Structure 1
Amino acid sequence: MFKHLFPFAICSLALICLYSCSPQTLEFYVSPEGNDDHSGSRTQPFATLQRAKTAVLESLADKAGERTIWLQPGRHQLTAPLVFTSADFPDTSSRLQIIGEEGAIISGGVVLTDWQTAETGLWMCQLPPAAGSVQSVRELFVGGKRAIRSRFPNSDYLRVGTVGADKRSHFFYESGDFPLPAQVNDTELILMHDWSSSRISIQSIDTTTNKLTPVDWIGARVLDFFTLDHWEAHARYFLENDLLFIDQDYEWYYSSEERRIYLQLPTGQDANELEIIVPVSAGLLQMNGTEEHPIRNIHIENITFRHSAWELPTGGYAGIQATHFDPRPNTGTGWSVVPAAVTASLAEACTFTNCRFENLGGSGLWLGRGCTDNAVTASKFRDISGNGIMIGEGRDRRVTDGPWWENAPDQAARGNRIENSTITDCGVQFFGAVGIWVGLAAETTITNNEVHHLPYTGISIGWMWNPSPTPARGNRVVGNHIHHIMQKLSDGGGIYMLGLQPGSELKDNLIHDVTVNVGRAESNGMFLDEGTTDVIVSGNVIYNIAKSPIRFHRATTNLVQQNALFCGEGIPPFTYNATDASLIKKVDNEVHQAGDAGIEAALQRAVESWKENH
């Protein structure tokens, strides 16, 4: 009897396994040409990520396990961020993958259509209903490239004439400095401080007295030294967003009154034949856990994130450092920060692999509060208005009437990794942005990345301007190639560090091409700023730096050993600002001075050796 039942049992078992392992029960597909009434299979894909999310959560409610959302090629449009919370995954053993097939893009933008020609010869287009409540268009992308928000002058800077009596609220310009904007209230003032910038709408321009007044103070209110003439007697500035400023192809202007975009294209180019996108979604992806139940095991692979929007506060953006800015109005909760397109809080063991973050209006990726053991690998970050990647948080959040880092230090981000990635062309709008920013975090590993062509610092790590104990410890910046940074601002470096960070090291990095910038302070290969303590700086190769390869400012005890430092003529290898040089232990460093015999060969050997090992 059992002999005859055996084939039946095997067949039944095979059917059960086939059903329980069926791709349709575990995998869901999304296509821009799909339909949300479909089953979500490869041949009948959903149309939206939100529908795929719903299907995943419904299946997990029946049975925990692994689920995969496959994004088929094309642009997957969002008008609001896709949000996952730890409540979506009650069984912590569950695992979600979101994988893009080649050419899969998550976009927070809408395509502009029905372009018309204006009498001026410019193209013009009304914002569509899909733009929703967007008040101020800050980016426009034409054929995948960021178009130029109309500015004057095109590439250089104007100079403040005389600052107002309060050195904050207004300044005077010279007659003929700039064409008077046709719509003053649409126009933005961008003023350069030493290591940050301000972006503030203009309230009025008095042509009788040549007085320019923005809608709020220029520079951060919370710091007394952010006056208009603190760093330079005649600070650099330019103006942005007016019809009269358009004088070159791919330059554009947004009229808030008309809700209309004006764009100049090359002669003979039809705007209706181009893909022209305006960002509308304030963020693209959020992953939020709780202290009791962190969100876990979400893995993002081979996806391009584009077109995230961020609108300035009504009082403007007064940058302080690394896209942290003066809150307006001041809510008493500390500094604000430019948000990221993709964010995570209280997330564990999540990964981003072979992803691209580009054409973004805020920052790129932020692994924030309490994020633990997450990884960013083999990804590319480019053309981003703010920071490229952010890890952890700053000092301001409070827990039980005290700073979180004192009362709840276990809430620090810990054990996160950034590996084998490229970060470039960040800070496109907010010039004080950095490629990689790490706050009060622990055991962060930043290794084998290339960070280059940035307006300010390459990698910034630490967020305490004195040696007070914080959760920051054991952070490692190892084997990175950092170059062509500090291209607009000053007082930074290839690596910028702050505060007490026991067990941290800056090791085996190749840093070069840091030029002199306008401003009071110099820029360096490495800048170990206030409170930097208990850090090992070893095995780095630093060359073609306009000033000292390594600078200390109010730093304390650190070890600097076995670095190859190539100095310009008359430039010392180390600069000490308000730092006791005897506290900086220096061991076996190789120092070369411009003009030394054999310096070119020594540099070639050092660079080739670094490249062989990385």
Structure 2
Amino acid sequence: MNITLLSRAMLLVTLMTSFSSAADWYVSPIGSDDAVGAKDSPFASLTKARDRIRAASKDQSHTVWVADGNYVLSEPFLLTGQDSGTQEHRIVYRAMEGATPTFSGGTTLAAWQQEGERWTTTLPEELRDPMPEQLIVGTQAATLAREPDEGLFTMAGVQEEPTSDHLAKQTIQLDPQDFAATLGLLGANELSRVQLLAFHKWDNTRRHLDQIEFDDHAVVTHGRKMKSWNPLDGNSQYRIENFAAALDSPGEWYADVSGKLTYLPRPGEKIENGQAIVPRLKQLVVLRGEPEQPVQYVELRGLRFLHGRWTTPTEGVEPSQAASPIEAAMQIDFAKNVTIRDCEVGHVGIYGVWFRQGCQHCRLERTWVHDTGAGGVRIGETQIRRDQKQRTHHITVDNNILNRGGRIFPCAVGAWIGHSSDNVLSHNEIADYFYTGISVGWRWGYAESLAKRNTITKNHVHHLGYGVLSDMGGIYTLGPSEGTVVRGNIFHDIHAYSYGGWGLYTDEGSSDILFENNLVYRTKTGGFHQHYGKDNIVRNNILAFGMLYQLQATRVEEHRSFVLEKNIIFYDEGELLQGNWDRVKFASSNNCYFDASERPVTFKGKTLKQWQAEGHEQDSIVADPKFADAEHFDFTLAEDSPARKLGFQPFVTEDVGVYGDASWVNKARSTKYLPVRPE
């Protein structure tokens, strides 16, 4: 063969290799699953593209290009181990440039009819068993008719009668006026559908009602026995949902047993623009690998997954911290090197995204998770897996917006890490939840925990609590957590119902955690609270404007509980210290304290000098730290701040929260939230 022929042969091989190294597939709302998946002959579904990739060569990369438009899911989009790519040849499902394809797990209802001030439509038969509990009108979730419309009622008392080892009958006494405004208005055949949502300490109980005792202004429910440390009682708040007479405020809706759905529009809504969608699928995306065949090297990019259903089972939902039994609309098990980027998960009845079992080296980036029945993102499990392949670790959740959650399960968490290690939670916007913003660890006490070496950095966490639950924090930790670092975050506007509502909260057994360079302000019960734990370090933080207290320490133990050094504690109301500070073992030094209301700063009734004589606050001072404008939450330190002389190192806050293009940053910063406490 001469050189020319050889060159041509080599060129042909190169071209063939190049051609076979990547394959493009196309999906369009006007496509067909009988098509070939080419640009001019696209599929109609992700599922068909997945199936064709399964049958294709794995020695090439595959990209599924998804056109703009709306796609209706008949079932969750499922990926298993056989849908994996490789490190060299990845599989990507992505939106076309400029497109925002939407995959809906809901059903669009027939056009509205006008009936006075109300709009009505009819539920199709297939959505009536069971009856729905969520409705999206336009782009906003409507509110299932309830009383009270704002705020909550308070129970008058609860009596519990055991019916078995684990079950009990609860009789709940209501205030006569509250009873008349709710259950006194129930229509015939409504009892089986009406729900009671109870708020007690850090938990919720959701129950159907078994009986109404009209003469005693009481309701009867059956379920699990209440825990002695967190029962329903006369301090528990509640609301009643899903009955016709409660349909009295804009944005509320109700559907009767005949399938007639009635909606009271919000101001400015127009009937011709008010498309109504009822979520139909519980889950929208499922990655279900196996220990020996995980889902690997797959990416979802630029796709929207909306409208996920939740229906309360007949037995109700028992209390569980952080709504821990509740799954996610994007449920991921046994996945490695999977990336979810530039996506959206919203209007769902459960959690948004969960890297649950056997997930390793996965990423969630620049994704908006919103309007969730439970929380935003979960990592790991509540149990310890002995098989290393079944453990979740090295998950990165970076530059996401997680907001407006807990709408069905208020005790849910914005971002939750259980028995899982070496994860990074960074640069996220986490806001508008009724309980904790970030929760790390799942061990009450000092026994084995897998929550090690987690990094929580540069997150903006705010507008939590709204005064409906207690025992909560901007960040809440549990159990031994060696190597875990909480650095450079901002936590603010946190308000509990009764006790709790802290910025940094180290609960039972929290140990060996570093809290550094965090800004905490406008909390109900203080910037830092340790219930009990060991050798946590709280260093170089600004803790400002606690309402009732600034610092709390509770349980007395034999070991050193924490170190408090080089912090600025700045306040204008409430006490400085609350709890057992005279007995808890801790080390404190080089802190700067200042009461802007000009009251004297005292430490459990003692002056700083007296407190230092007892071995505390060595080299600490009481002095104005000289913030630029603390009243408007500008905590920039003056060059001559006395805190600098103590070794306090100023830190920047401008880079906290999401980053990237202006539209993404503005999306986080421009969202308005209601005040978390009455002004």
TM-score between the two structures when normalised by the length of structure 1:
0.87
Shift in Å at residue 109 of structure 1? 0.6
- Taking a change above 3 Å as real, the CA distance of residues 268 and 571 of structure 1, as seen in their structure-2 partners, is closer
Determine the C-alpha separation between the residues in 2 that align with 1:19 and 1:504: 47
- Taking a change above 3 Å as real, the CA distance of residues 569 and 265 of structure 1, as seen in their structure-2 partners, is closer
Question: What does 1:424-503 correspond to in 2, within 5 Å?
Answer: 424-487=403-466, 488-503=468-483
| Aligned counterpart, 1:601 | 628
| Aligned counterpart, 2:599 | none
Question: What does 1:76-475 correspond to in 2, within 5 Å?
Answer: 76-89=71-84, 94-101=89-96, 102-116=99-113, 122-128=118-124, 131=127, 134-166=129-161, 169-177=170-178, 178-179=181-182, 180-182=185-187, 183-214=190-221, 216-217=222-223, 221=225, 223-229=227-233, 233-255=234-256, 257-265=257-265, 271=271, 273-324=273-324, 337-395=325-383, 404-405=384-385, 407-408=386-387, 411-475=390-454
Determine the C-alpha separation between the residues in 1 that align with 2:160 and 2:561: 43
Determine the C-alpha separation between the residues in 2 that align with 1:7 and 1:287: 46
Q: Secondary structure at the match of 1:135?
A: coil
Residues 507-562 of structure 1 deviation map (CA, whole Å, 9 limit, x = unaligned): 111111112x323x221001100010111111212122221211011212222222
| Aligned counterpart, 2:641 | none
- Residues 1:42 and 2:20 are matched in the alignment: no
Determine the C-alpha separation between the residues in 1 that align with 2:90 and 2:129: 35
Determine the C-alpha separation between the residues in 1 that align with 2:471 and 2:28: 47
Residues 340-377 of structure 1 deviation map (CA, whole Å, 9 limit, x = unaligned): 01011111111111111211111100001111011111
Shift in Å at residue 169 of structure 1? 1.3
- Residues 1:556 and 2:561 are matched in the alignment: no
- Taking a change above 3 Å as real, the CA distance of residues 322 and 14 of structure 1, as seen in their structure-2 partners, is same
Q: Name which of structure 1's ranges 599-608 and 525-534 shifts more when overlaid on structure 2.
A: 599-608
Q: Secondary structure at the match of 1:416?
A: strand
Q: Secondary structure at the match of 2:47?
A: helix
Amino acid at match of 1:601: A
Amino acid at match of 1:246: L
- Taking a change above 3 Å as real, the CA distance of residues 486 and 569 of structure 1, as seen in their structure-2 partners, is closer
- Taking a change above 3 Å as real, the CA distance of residues 116 and 580 of structure 1, as seen in their structure-2 partners, is farther
- Taking a change above 3 Å as real, the CA distance of residues 576 and 606 of structure 1, as seen in their structure-2 partners, is farther
Checking the alignment, whether the CA contact within 8 Å between 1:567 and 1:573 is kept in structure 2 is: no
Residues 113-160 of structure 1 deviation map (CA, whole Å, 9 limit, x = unaligned): 154456x764333332564x7513111001111011111111122221
- Taking a change above 3 Å as real, the CA distance of residues 147 and 567 of structure 1, as seen in their structure-2 partners, is closer
Shift in Å at residue 94 of structure 1? 4.5
Residues 234-273 of structure 1 deviation map (CA, whole Å, 9 limit, x = unaligned): 4211111111111123311123x32442222369977565
Amino acid at match of 1:459: I
- Taking a change above 3 Å as real, the CA distance of residues 592 and 208 of structure 1, as seen in their structure-2 partners, is closer
Shift in Å at residue 440 of structure 1? 0.5
- Taking a change above 3 Å as real, the CA distance of residues 610 and 428 of structure 1, as seen in their structure-2 partners, is farther
Shift in Å at residue 93 of structure 1? 5.6
Question: What does 1:60-71 correspond to in 2, within 5 Å?
Answer: 60=57, 63-71=58-66
Checking the alignment, whether the CA contact within 8 Å between 1:409 and 1:471 is kept in structure 2 is: no
Q: Secondary structure at the match of 1:283?
A: coil
Match 1:534 to one of 509, 512, 519: 512
- Taking a change above 3 Å as real, the CA distance of residues 570 and 228 of structure 1, as seen in their structure-2 partners, is closer
Q: Secondary structure at the match of 1:184?
A: coil
Checking the alignment, whether the CA contact within 8 Å between 1:350 and 1:373 is kept in structure 2 is: yes
Checking the alignment, whether the CA contact within 8 Å between 1:455 and 1:485 is kept in structure 2 is: yes
Count of aligned residue pairs for this structure pair: 577
Determine the C-alpha separation between the residues in 2 that align with 1:593 and 1:269: 44
- Taking a change above 3 Å as real, the CA distance of residues 32 and 425 of structure 1, as seen in their structure-2 partners, is same
Shift in Å at residue 458 of structure 1? 0.5
- Taking a change above 3 Å as real, the CA distance of residues 442 and 124 of structure 1, as seen in their structure-2 partners, is same
Determine the C-alpha separation between the residues in 1 that align with 2:432 and 2:125: 37
- Taking a change above 3 Å as real, the CA distance of residues 507 and 57 of structure 1, as seen in their structure-2 partners, is same
| Aligned counterpart, 1:512 | 492
Checking the alignment, whether the CA contact within 8 Å between 1:560 and 1:585 is kept in structure 2 is: yes
Determine the C-alpha separation between the residues in 1 that align with 2:225 and 2:345: 32
- Taking a change above 3 Å as real, the CA distance of residues 268 and 323 of structure 1, as seen in their structure-2 partners, is closer
Amino acid at match of 2:231: T
Shift in Å at residue 67 of structure 1? 1.0
- Residues 1:30 and 2:27 are matched in the alignment: yes
Checking the alignment, whether the CA contact within 8 Å between 2:111 and 2:275 is kept in structure 1 is: no
Residues 280-308 of structure 1 deviation map (CA, whole Å, 9 limit, x = unaligned): 11201111222222221111111111111
Q: Secondary structure at the match of 1:467?
A: coil
Determine the C-alpha separation between the residues in 2 that align with 1:471 and 1:253: 45
| Aligned counterpart, 1:334 | none
Amino acid at match of 2:248: D
Amino acid at match of 1:448: H
| Aligned counterpart, 1:400 | none
Determine the C-alpha separation between the residues in 1 that align with 2:376 and 2:387: 27
RMSD of the alignment, in Å? 2.7
Shift in Å at residue 606 of structure 1? 4.0
Determine the C-alpha separation between the residues in 2 that align with 1:93 and 1:125: 52
Determine the C-alpha separation between the residues in 2 that align with 1:492 and 1:569: 15
Residues 552-582 of structure 1 deviation map (CA, whole Å, 9 limit, x = unaligned): 1121222222222224477343433445684
Shift in Å at residue 420 of structure 1? 1.3
Aligned residues: percent identity? Answer: 25
Checking the alignment, whether the CA contact within 8 Å between 2:142 and 2:252 is kept in structure 1 is: yes
Q: Secondary structure at the match of 2:170?
A: coil
- Taking a change above 3 Å as real, the CA distance of residues 578 and 184 of structure 1, as seen in their structure-2 partners, is farther
- Taking a change above 3 Å as real, the CA distance of residues 583 and 46 of structure 1, as seen in their structure-2 partners, is same
Shift in Å at residue 65 of structure 1? 2.2
- Taking a change above 3 Å as real, the CA distance of residues 556 and 312 of structure 1, as seen in their structure-2 partners, is same
Amino acid at match of 2:554: Y
Checking the alignment, whether the CA contact within 8 Å between 1:363 and 1:386 is kept in structure 2 is: yes
- Taking a change above 3 Å as real, the CA distance of residues 19 and 411 of structure 1, as seen in their structure-2 partners, is closer
Determine the C-alpha separation between the residues in 1 that align with 2:153 and 2:51: 53
Q: Secondary structure at the match of 1:491?
A: coil
